[in-house]
Structure 1
Amino acid sequence: MKTMLNSALKSAVVALSLLCLPVVAHAQDALESITKAGVLKVAVPQDFPPFGSVGPDMKPRGYDIDMAELIAKGLGVKTELVPVTSANRIPYLTTGKVDLVISSLGKNPDREKVIDFSLPYAPFYNGVFGPEGLSISGPEQLAGKVVGVTRGSIEDLELTKVAPATADVKRYEDNNGTISAFLSGQVELVATGNVVAAAILEKNPPKKPLLKFLIKNSPNYVGINKGETALTEKVNAIITAARADGSLDAISKTWLGAPLPASF
């Protein structure tokens, strides 16, 4: 009886081991395929500057483009950039048209059911911005200050939650109105997104909007197919190294006009 029990137990262990083999093999598939092909196919934006757009030379440019090149270099392969929209970027990944999504992709519970995510690689946030000489480090210091914001925007809603009653919040109908109010001196500070602030900085105005403090943070992540453990670990290692050696900070300065936030 004992012999039969041991035999049955060994058979169960062997069967379980065999069941696990395909899972382990699958976890290596994407990284092995990329390495063997010598090419990393990456979904990138083409109409969302400064993360991705088409330059005057008709070549893709932007934060996400540089990030794709950085990861490909870390993998020791070439890059194949695949332009996508917000609607099709995840389907392109799940159907195997691309290996990674680097397209200003935020993380949320619904997306986490479908794909996996890397460590964050780019800051995407709403904050309060102002000129260099103005010392502001938190919402309580907005008391008595004039702050511009676009009416009905996320930053308007978030600013309303934290601004003291004595802050003079002036609301404008669109981002252009908010930006113009800041540049012309109608307001001391603006509550806006870092992408909008980067667009202002790119024009190199005399009055530069520099980040004073964050209102809401929603960084960007690399999208990776479910179960691709080896590829996820490798991408995370590349991002971690890029943070440590300053490469990621350099990309942020190039495209967002500012270093990575201290809390990033």
Structure 2
Amino acid sequence: MFAFKKALLGALVCTGLFASVGAHADNAVERIQAAKVIRVAVPTDYAPYGSVGPDMQPMGIDIDTANLVANKLGVKLQLIPVTAPTRVAYLQTGKADITISSLGKTPEREKVIDYTIAYAPFFDAVYGHTALSVKNFGDMTGKTVSVTRGSMQDEEISTKAPGAVIRRFEDNNSTIQAFLSGQTQMMAVGTTVAAVMQKQHPGLDLNLKEILSNSPCYIGVPKGEQDLVDKLNQIIREAKADGTIDKIAMKWLGTPAGNLPE
């Protein structure tokens, strides 16, 4: 009987221990803080959200937001460069804790990842040269459009201009270069990206053909980590209240972030 009670006690202790460890492992915020580092997937090919600066270091809205998050969590920041097609996959495979990569919200993505509230504004549009006669999505039928595979623009242009000849590229730089080199007649990108292009290429003939959507940027989080979503939402709300979010937007977009959706 004594042996049985001892074994039972041991089993209960072990069960409690495993439950404690399991609970700790299930808490993403505690896990990140215990590791003292947060791995953030960011773009490096999509200025002004993320690009490589003269010092060869990542810079942009997404990088500044990643630094904000790391500082508020009290951990070291590890930036993980990703492209549009890989930024969700890195979350699903555990290669990144979160993604801050000008990520828009779609029903398809919501099936596999969770989102925070928005942290930055973003408008998608189709651009072409002034001489190209395009006044609506119907006029795009038969005309070539470059777009980054798996991006919000990819989904939007496919739905709104089904007659267009869509040429998909694996990263944003390739999408832009395809248009600049004349491989395509138009490109589907963010309006802020187009503004950066015009600064980088003075005299560039770039005419807005059609607005695709208003698609604010959200932080992507692995599915089911609500504690992390709640903590990130707290950080974003506090940064909105104290003006930090507006300062980041002013720095890179030249305008405040405005009234971002919850």
Question: TM-score per shorter chain, which class?
Answer: 0.5 to 0.7
Aligned to 1:239: 236
Measure how far apart 1:32 and its partner are: 1.2
| CA distance in 2: counterparts of 1:25 and 1:55, whole angstroms | 41
1:87-166 aligned within 5 A: 87-126=85-124, 152=140
Aligned to 2:40: 42
Q: Given the two structures, how large is their TM-score scaled by the length of structure 1? A: 0.61
Quick check: 1:52–1:60 contact (8 Å CA) kept in 2? Answer: yes
Measure how far apart 1:257 and its partner are: 1.7
From 251, 254, 257, the equivalent of 1:254 is 251
Task: Return closer, same or farther for 1:29/1:55 CA change in 2, 3 Å cut-off.
Answer: same
The one-letter code of the counterpart of 1:41 is R
- Deviations along 1:53-88, one digit per CA (max 9) or x if unpaired, are 111111111111111000111111110000111111
| CA distance in 1: counterparts of 2:106 and 2:217, whole angstroms | 11
| CA distance in 2: counterparts of 1:92 and 1:216, whole angstroms | 26
Quick check: 1:27–1:229 contact (8 Å CA) kept in 2? Answer: no
1:54 aligns with 2:52: yes
Unpaired segments ≥5 residues, structure 1: 1-17, 128-147, 159-173, 177-191, 206-213
1:79 aligns with 2:51: no
What number of residue pairs does the alignment pair up? Answer: 197
Task: Return closer, same or farther for 1:251/1:112 CA change in 2, 3 Å cut-off.
Answer: same
Measure how far apart 1:122 and its partner are: 1.1
Aligned to 2:183: none
| CA distance in 1: counterparts of 2:83 and 2:124, whole angstroms | 22
Q: Given the two structures, how large is their TM-score scaled by the length of structure 2? A: 0.62
Task: Return closer, same or farther for 1:88/1:230 CA change in 2, 3 Å cut-off.
Answer: same
Measure how far apart 1:198 and its partner are: 3.8
Measure how far apart 1:242 and its partner are: 0.7
The one-letter code of the counterpart of 1:40 is I
Aligned to 1:31: 29
- Deviations along 1:240-260, one digit per CA (max 9) or x if unpaired, are 011111111111111112111
The one-letter code of the counterpart of 2:46 is F
| CA distance in 1: counterparts of 2:223 and 2:24, whole angstroms | 10
Look at both structures and tell me which one has the larger radius of gyration over its CA atoms.
Answer: 1
RMSD of the TM alignment (CA)? Answer: 3.9
Task: Return closer, same or farther for 1:201/1:238 CA change in 2, 3 Å cut-off.
Answer: farther
Task: Return closer, same or farther for 1:242/1:198 CA change in 2, 3 Å cut-off.
Answer: farther
The one-letter code of the counterpart of 1:47 is D
Identical amino acids, percent of aligned pairs: 49
| CA distance in 2: counterparts of 1:175 and 1:254, whole angstroms | 27
Which secondary structure state, in structure 1, belongs to the residue aligned with residue 27 of structure 2? helix
Aligned to 2:227: 230
The one-letter code of the counterpart of 1:123 is P
Task: Return closer, same or farther for 1:202/1:239 CA change in 2, 3 Å cut-off.
Answer: farther
Measure how far apart 1:99 and its partner are: 0.4
Measure how far apart 1:199 and its partner are: 1.4
The one-letter code of the counterpart of 2:105 is K
Task: Return closer, same or farther for 1:262/1:95 CA change in 2, 3 Å cut-off.
Answer: closer
